[in-house]
Amino acid sequence: MRNLVIAIDGPSGAGKGTVARTLAERLGYRHVDTGAMYRAVAWKAAHDGVPLDDNEAVAGVATRAHLDQHGGRVTIDGHDVTRAIRTPEIDKAAAAVAKLPRVRTVLVDRQRALGAGGAVVMEGRDIGTVVFPDADVKIYLDASAEERARRRAADQAHTGGQQASVAHVQNDLVARDTTDSTRAVAPLALAPDAVYVDTTAMPIEAVVNRALMLVHEKLASERQG
């Protein structure tokens, strides 16, 4: 069986994380959460007092940083930031550094290196459009803003254990969607050859099954071809 590159894109709260992780587990592939890379770099820049709008300085942080993702843990330069990067402050900081072109160049290079051998499920905003335009399977997950906000508000890991109102979460999320989809470099966009899945009314298991079906179809078409 050839080792595929599977790209999963879409806005926050669409189900990318759970789907990508489960898919990787079922296929024995590596799961790479590229959003966590932007978050970790934002965390490190803030930690080191680097201005979050300084393209060169934040790109320097991204270049020098030792980033690692394994077993669901995220570390940067030896700091375990798994929980620290899932806060409303880092939501904003990550969206800010993700706008910087030099930072994107550095992280896109790292993402290509991580996926170079295949056998990877990579999730983000620009995986099927920029990082791996030739990915074997491209899936774009979406859901209504209300449903995405409801999922985020219910996610304790993301609200730091605090109760967050859905309306409040939805405001922040829509603001970030706008930043992510209107930025000049690699905005969130649907690749023409991606399979669009609206997950609003789908249980997560159904989304995972749909994704697995697409992977098996791809492998079957290669065996025939």
Q: Which residues contact 216 (CB under 8 A, 6 or more apart)?
A: none
Residue 142 near ligand DC by CB under 6 A: no
Question: What element of type H or E holds 189?
Answer: none
Least CB distance to ligand DC at residue 224 (A): 32
Beta bridge partners of 159: none
Residues 180-209 within binding reach of ligand DC (CB under 6 A): 180
Number of residues this chain uses to bind ligand DC (CB under 6 A): 13
Closer CB to ligand DC, residue 83 or residue 216? 83
User: In angstroms, what CA-CA distances link 3 with 30, 46, 91, 115, 136?
Assistant: 11, 37, 33, 10, 9
Q: Which residues contact 143 (CB under 8 A, 6 or more apart)?
A: 13, 14, 15, 151, 198, 199, 200
Mark the segment that binds ligand DC (CB under 6 A) among 35-43, 59-67, 144-152, 157-165.
35-43
Least CB distance to ligand DC at residue 34 (A): 4
DSSP codes of every residue in 137-154: EEEEEE--HHHHHHHHHH
Q: What is the dihedral of CA 24, 148, 37, 90, to 10 degrees?
A: -150
Beta bridge partners of 138: 7
Residue 12 near ligand DC by CB under 6 A: yes
Interface mask (CB under 6 A) for ligand DC, residues 88-127, using x and -?
Answer: ------xx--x-------------------------xxx-
Closer CB to ligand DC, residue 39 or residue 44? 39
Residues 38-67 within binding reach of ligand DC (CB under 6 A): 38-39
What is the token pair recorded at 141? 């997950």
Least CB distance to ligand DC at residue 1 (A): 27
Closer CB to ligand DC, residue 27 or residue 188? 188
Residue 34 near ligand DC by CB under 6 A: yes
Q: Which stretches of the chain bind ligand DC, using CB under 6 A?
A: 12, 34-35, 38-39, 94-95, 98, 124-126, 176, 180
